[in-house]
Structure 1
Amino acid sequence: MASEPQSASTTTIANLIAGMALFGSATPLSKIIGAHFPVFTASCIRMVIAAIVLAPFVWFATDRFARARRSDFPVILAIAAFGMVGFTATMLFGMRMTSGVIGSTIMSASPAVTALAAVVFFGAAMNWRKGGALALALAGVVAINLWRGEGDSAWNEAKLLGAALVGAAVCLEAAYTLLSRKLSDGITSLETTFAASLVAIPLFVLLAVLFDPHPFDFSGADGFSAGALLFWGAATGGLAPVLWYNGVRKAPGALAAGAMAVMPLSALALSYVLLGEQFRWVHLAGFGLVFAGLLLMIVEHAKPAADKDAAKS
């Protein structure tokens, strides 16, 4: 059996970092897009763009579903429903009402929430690292949401509702991750993402027609928001999975786990840059607590990955 890589090239590291940075950009971009487009319309466009970007990579870099099993397709349908439709919609609705910093902080709790879901639904073992990550994530999210600055009290309830919806998006992202573990080894993550994007398109069309006040109406968009929508679909929905897939295939497991730290940092930094949000020290405190929990989850993922790499060397 061929051993897994014990070191990584500069290109591999760049793929991992760039992939996570692009994934992180989705949080502040969601706020821009949610403010200018109908939610389900924007989500549908994102899936279309992502599928177009992913198609050539799936065609040339995978077996094009040739090794997929019949049991994989119901799982892909569930991934499309929960991880594509549910996640994207709740993220856009939530980011309409809350800030980019709060959204980024809550999204940083994704690994901890996924670990808890694995314990509850799949019987995974709980340990102090998972428990500590969950406690830190909860403390950070509570701290950054309950702090009231001058002028915040009038709209704090809406902000909390938005934060709750982003929290629901985190849970749906965890469902995506856990459902992916039910797929056979014959289907790659690229094939999964591409297929789920295709399935999500007609679902979003139906939701847009039923619930968007003006479906597929782009009259409220300006050049900046239109560019954000194109980037959201092409980069975070299409290119980011490709970069991450190429990096993970060639990187040691511990390095891939460590690269998770880039995503929340990217989301936080771009919330200040793209949204012009004002820095407050409570941001650093709340985000720091959640990020500390993320580091615990990185250690949790990296240790078995490193052990596995060493056993195969």
Structure 2
Amino acid sequence: MALVGANVGVAKVLAGSLPIAMIVGLRCLLAVLVLWPLARAMEGRVQVDGRCLRNLFLQAAFGTALYNAGLLAGLRLTTALEAGLVLATLPAVVAIGSALWLREVLPPRQWAAVALAAFGMGALTLARAGGEAHGSLLGNLLVFGGVCGEAIYILLAKRIAGRVPLVTASLWMQAFSMLLMLPFCLPVLGSAAALADPEVAGLLVFHSLTASVICLLLWYAGLRRAPAGIAGVFTAFLPATAALVAVVFLGEAFSAVHAAGFVLLTGSMLLATWPGRRRNG
């Protein structure tokens, strides 16, 4: 979760140096090159049926293409600090999607998490109307569009949970994402010259390998040793690390409004992911 948060700042720097399609396309290409041998070594040859492939294609379209396009486009307009706070609404958006689409009955705590997330987003919007924030409403909305894409990805993943091994599923999603981005990469192919800058190239490699490979492996390796509910609590590190990187490394200002938004949105994440009490018997 700390690496996911740090990648918000990294993505903002990359968005200022490369076209969005090029960043996403190259990220997926690098991920495929790493995940291919990893999937074979860890899970062997896996036959994936047509229904699962269609589901993985949709997951790629929403969870990789739409999420990254929304995040990177938004980061061109808003600050990494505010983008990190908007990303903290993800558990609340997933909860709403679960209720509306999957017809799951949500406990009061989940609805409280949704309310806190709404108040947090409202605080950022009102602060901007009063001239107290440095981000962009349109930028934050684009990032939130990416959050909705990621939420759809999570809900789609529930439909085939356990049917495709983790690394193999990730490989297919990255491959599908690469194909989806290819038509958008070809017109801006000349922009790859920016990769001659070692800093840009290094950040792209870091962004690709951490976001698409290392974070995935760390998260699921942790889940083997800790209950999912306890692991969910650590999602609070996402906005915290994003804020730290934005302030310390990018020099962004942290205002009282950001502090209020951080408290509300982090509280929403904790409410949505905190482990519930187990019933006796």
TM-score, scaled relative to structure 2: 0.91
Deviation of 1:254 after TM superposition, in Å, equals 2.9
**Aligned residue among 140, 143, 146 for 1:163:** 140
Q: How does 1:83-232 map to 2 (within 5 A)?
A: 83-148=63-128, 159-209=136-186, 214-220=188-194, 222-232=197-207
Q: Residues 99, 122 of structure 1: CA spacing in aligned structure 2 closer, same or farther, 3 A cutoff? A: same
Deviation of 1:84 after TM superposition, in Å, equals 1.0
Q: How does 1:1-313 map to 2 (within 5 A)?
A: 20-66=1-47, 68-148=48-128, 159-209=136-186, 214-220=188-194, 222-299=197-274, 302-303=275-276
Deviation of 1:176 after TM superposition, in Å, equals 0.8
Contact 1:47 1:200 in 2 (8 A): yes
Letter in 1 for 2:259: L
TM-score, scaled relative to structure 1: 0.82
Letter in 1 for 2:46: F
Aligned to 1:8: none
Letter in 1 for 2:235: M
Letter in 2 for 1:92: L
Q: Distance in 2 between matches of 1:247 and 1:216?
A: 41
Deviation of 1:70 after TM superposition, in Å, equals 3.4
Q: Distance in 1 between matches of 2:152 and 2:102?
A: 12
Deviation of 1:226 after TM superposition, in Å, equals 2.5
Contact 2:68 2:146 in 1 (8 A): yes
Deviation of 1:94 after TM superposition, in Å, equals 0.7
Q: Distance in 1 between matches of 2:258 and 2:190?
A: 36
Aligned to 1:10: none
Q: Residues 261, 206 of structure 1: CA spacing in aligned structure 2 closer, same or farther, 3 A cutoff? A: same
Deviation of 1:45 after TM superposition, in Å, equals 0.5
Runs (5+) with no aligned partner, structure 1: 1-19
Contact 1:38 1:216 in 2 (8 A): no
Deviation of 1:98 after TM superposition, in Å, equals 0.4
Contact 2:74 2:142 in 1 (8 A): yes
Q: Distance in 2 between matches of 1:82 and 1:148?
A: 29
Deviation of 1:152 after TM superposition, in Å, equals 6.7
Percent sequence identity over matched residues?
28
Q: Distance in 2 between matches of 1:146 and 1:188?
A: 44
Q: Distance in 1 between matches of 2:131 and 2:141?
A: 21
Deviation of 1:286 after TM superposition, in Å, equals 0.8
Contact 2:84 2:238 in 1 (8 A): no
Q: Distance in 2 between matches of 1:88 and 1:128?
A: 31
Letter in 2 for 1:57: L
Q: Distance in 2 between matches of 1:275 and 1:105?
A: 16
Letter in 2 for 1:77: F
Letter in 1 for 2:276: K
Contact 1:48 1:198 in 2 (8 A): yes
Q: Distance in 1 between matches of 2:226 and 2:46?
A: 24
Q: Distance in 1 between matches of 2:21 and 2:269?
A: 31
Per-residue Cα deviation, 1:181-202 (whole angstroms, up to 9, x for no partner)? 1115231232221110011112
Per-residue Cα deviation, 1:142-191 (whole angstroms, up to 9, x for no partner)? 212331499779x86xx111100000000000011010011152312322
Contact 1:41 1:216 in 2 (8 A): no
Deviation of 1:261 after TM superposition, in Å, equals 2.0
Give the count of matched residue pairs. Answer: 280
Range with bigger deviation, 110-119 or 141-150: 141-150
